[in-house]
Amino acid sequence: MQPRTFRFVLAYEGTGFWGFARQPDRRTIEGTLWQALQPMLPDLRKIVVGGRTDRGVHATGQVISLRTRCPVDSDRLGRCIDHAAPGEIACLHAERTRHGFHAQFWARSRSYTYLHPAERDAPRAGRLERLLQALVGTRDFFAFARDTPKGRSTVRRLEWVRVRSVLHDGRPHLRFDLIGRSFLRHQVRVMVATALREAAAPESSDDALLRLAETHDRTATEPPAPPGHLHLVKIVY
């Protein structure tokens, strides 16, 4: 039988996991999926993820793909994923897709949302949006990344940014929405944390984040904002 390619859209609550990627002696999303799927797919060699998430980060639109020669259908695989960690991982969509589909390399854009609890003296959404809008475009985001593998390019394209004041679980939050083709490790959380710092500084100008990007100095930007408020919302192909 020729290998077949399957595509799945997942949602997960990341609090109880050490990120997506498998790690020895750590509970991860990929490791949990592997344990569930491998008995059904003994020829499974790799689970490809559209947007790798760190420890504690959530997803409402994660995409994975895999290839197998085993005679199974997408619905059965989707149910298997649903049973892997009930209440923590859910399969929102399952399908057999075109040969060669690759959840990572075929992605055209990734959308993230960060929900920051807004205190009474929180910066205004408009001010935060102007700071982040200055970074829209293609540039070196080295200053806003962490733990980048040696030799890996830190040039990325930020496509779109929006910041709004919203109610979440009945409480005021600042909602950061960011879209880009891809993001560096911790990039979104460092950008959010640094924007909050600069927005609270009266002497800071609207191009402050752009000027920080041009320094290529990671010590000039803030540590990543807490991961529990970050969601991978959507991947477009």
Catalytic sites, residue numbers: 54
DSSP 2-65: --EEEEEEEEE-GGGSS-SS--TTS--HHHHHHHHHTTT-TT----EESS---TT-EEEEEEEE
Going by their DSSP bridges, the two strands 171-180 and 230-236 should be labelled as unpaired
Going by their DSSP bridges, the two strands 89-97 and 155-168 should be labelled as unpaired
Kindly give, in sequence order, each residue whose CB lies less than 8 Å from that of residue 22, ignoring residues fewer than 6 positions away.
28, 30, 31, 34
Whether 171 contacts 149, CB under 8 Å: no
The CA–CA distances, whole Å, from 77 to 2, 30, 33 equal 18, 15, 11
Joined tokens for residue 118: 């807004």
β-bridge partners, 9: 63, 93
In the block, tokens 């077949």 appear at: 4
* Environment class of 84 (CB within 10 Å of its CB; exposed 0-12, middle 13-18, buried 19+): buried
